[in-house]
Amino acid sequence: METHADVNRPASNTELHQVVDHFIAHRLTESGVVAASRADDANVLRRTMLDLVGRIPTANEAKQYIDSADPNKQMALVDRLIASPGFSRHQANELNSMLMQGSSGDLLKYLRPAVADNRPWDQIFRDLLEADPESGADQFLKSRVKDLDRLANDTSVIFFGVNVSCAQCHDHPLVSEWTQSHFFGMKSFFSRTFENGGFLGERDYGLVKFQTTSGEERVAPLMFLTGTVLEEPEVSEPTDEQKKEEKKQLDELKEKKQPPPTPAFSRRAQLATVALKENENMYFSRAIVNRVWHRLFGRGLVAPVDQMHPENPASHPELLERLASDLVAHNYDLRRLIRGLVLSEAYARSSRWEGDSYPAPELFAVASIRPLTPAQYATSLRLASMSPSWFPEDLQSDAFEQRIEQVENSARGFAGMIEQPGEDFQVSVTEALLFNNNQRITSEFLRDGNDSLVGTLKSVDDRTQLVSDAVWNVFTRPPTADEIQMLAEYLLQYRENQVIAAQQLVWALLTTNEVRFNY
């Protein structure tokens, strides 16, 4: 007999974006909240391009999309962007930021080909634990191997959505599921890992011991977050003489620039096996779904993203389970997941709320306003300040992609001057001073050149046209009548010098919140 819950559950073959909208709409109805209207085409285009390829559209791209009457243009846009080289570059940057979290070094050598090949997320996880130095996958562990407590917790937070650091000194005070055995059980998977001459090794021996709050000393089990304890071969602790011989061999390998021998039993490999096993993989699949959702919507289905436990349930538990199950069923295909989320109506909502009281953020009734990452911001500033003639309508796709990649590469230096946004982001005093006082702003974004926006605008005598061209290039949308009137009047004071007029206008537009945020 079909239950009420069955009636309200989408069929198994329902498109992923429709699944998203079903569960979001159901919660809104239950809460008596009417969602914000859909954002206009210019807004949807800009948001989608920032999220999928890490940049704003060019003026020509914006005009073509807005003018198109194709009812399927958003789907065509998403599919084109996901198939583009820009998608691979941007997603590699995003994954690198998520995986390294401010650690020294980066994973881009590994991630760029991995994302380009659409390598499954479970395989990426295995590769990072295997830590092959040739591929560059070893950087995840190498950047943390000198602090095994941090390595254990970072792995738990990033891949499983669980912050077990509070269970290090005592059982978690608020979450009964997280005990000291969970923290030290996770640490045990890495306790035999070490660095030798720039190479990672893993010993065949070594136990983790810890003290309970009552002073009892215990040996940590090799235990996963679900409570599953893994069996492993019994090994004896080597004698002092054997340790001396091991050190001698490691010193010789270091001198020869060779990696340590592979262990007969790898605890790290056991972590990959148990974490991906059926009935054990719920933490792994839910965590990446929640992180991708958080990145695209500004808030996770579970918030914060490192607090996935029964005392902190998801805002839409059935949706999280459905997305996680779909990810596993489709070989951990992150492109499929991303495509499904950005094609939803929930993703395309306006960030402008017209109602009286702002709805609870966990309802996803209105789009979040999100600060751009350093790479997004620097690339978009560079693109917005370039002459539209550098991207003509008839430019072939290969040549277009090459120019875009040139823009991205030239923006890297400036990106290093911008902070990575965290929760409750606010533009810093340092950033504000950078845009007000640093000569680099003039030399990079306000220069008078054949390929610059200032160089193009200085030749436009009609102030209305000048304002329109500038707004299209920087804001990637048509100007409003008020903007044309206000900015045209503003330019009157610089009528004697067209270059300064163009520079003042471009600077005024580039330093707005409309450029700084994804809205």
Amino acid found at 65 = Y
Q: How confident is the model at residue 173 (pLDDT cuts 50, 70, 90)?
A: low
Q: Contact at 8 Å (CB) between 378 and 411?
A: yes
Strands 370-371 and 217-219: unpaired
CA–CA separation, 36 and 366 (whole Å):
5
Residue range 483-504: average pLDDT?
A: 96
CA–CA separation, 118 and 134 (whole Å):
19
pTM: 0.94
- Which DSSP category does 492 fall into? G
Phi first, then psi: give them for residue 490, nearest 5 degrees: -60, -35
pLDDT at 481: 97
pLDDT at 174: 61
Residue range 227-251, pLDDT digits in tens: 999 999 988 899 999 999 999 999 9
> Could you tell me which residue, 86 or 103, shows the higher pLDDT?
86
Q: Which helix (H) or strand (E) holds 199?
A: strand 199-202
Q: Which helix (H) or strand (E) holds 196?
A: strand 193-196
Q: How confident is the model at residue 424 (pLDDT cuts 50, 70, 90)?
A: confident
Joined tokens for residue 447: 């220069």
pLDDT at 423: 86
> Could you tell me which residue, 293 or 394, shows the higher pLDDT?
293
Residue range 91-110, pLDDT digits in tens: 999 999 999 998 889 999 99
Using the predicted structure, report yes or no on whether residue 473 has a pLDDT greater than 80.
Answer: yes
Residue range 291-340, pLDDT digits in tens: 999 999 999 999 999 999 888 999 999 999 999 999 999 999 999 999 99
C-beta atoms surrounding 148 within 10 Å: 18
Of 56-65, 315-324, 422-431, 459-468, minimum mean pLDDT range: 422-431
Strands 199-202 and 193-196: antiparallel
Q: How confident is the model at residue 47 (pLDDT cuts 50, 70, 90)?
A: very high
Percent of the chain past pLDDT 70, that is, above it, reads: 98
Contacts of 91 (CB under 8 A, 6+ apart): 115, 334, 338
Using the predicted structure, report yes or no on whether residue 4 has a pLDDT greater than 70.
Answer: no
CA–CA separation, 50 and 395 (whole Å):
21
pLDDT at 437: 87
pLDDT at 172: 67
pLDDT at 104: 87
Nearest to 24 by CA among 282, 326, 314, 337: 314
pLDDT at 8: 74
* Per-chain mean pLDDT for the chain: 95
Where helices occur in 256-396 by DSSP H, the ranges are 267-275, 282-297, 317-329, 334-342, 374-384
Using the predicted structure, report yes or no on whether residue 6 has a pLDDT greater than 50.
Answer: no
> Could you tell me which residue, 213 or 149, shows the higher pLDDT?
149
Residue range 463-491: average pLDDT?
A: 97
Q: CA-based angle 163:114:283, to the nearest 5?
A: 25
Using the predicted structure, report yes or no on whether residue 1 has a pLDDT greater than 80.
Answer: no
Residue range 193-201: average pLDDT?
A: 97
How many CA atoms within 13 Å lie on the side-chain side of 452? Answer: 17
pLDDT at 5: 44
pLDDT at 3: 37
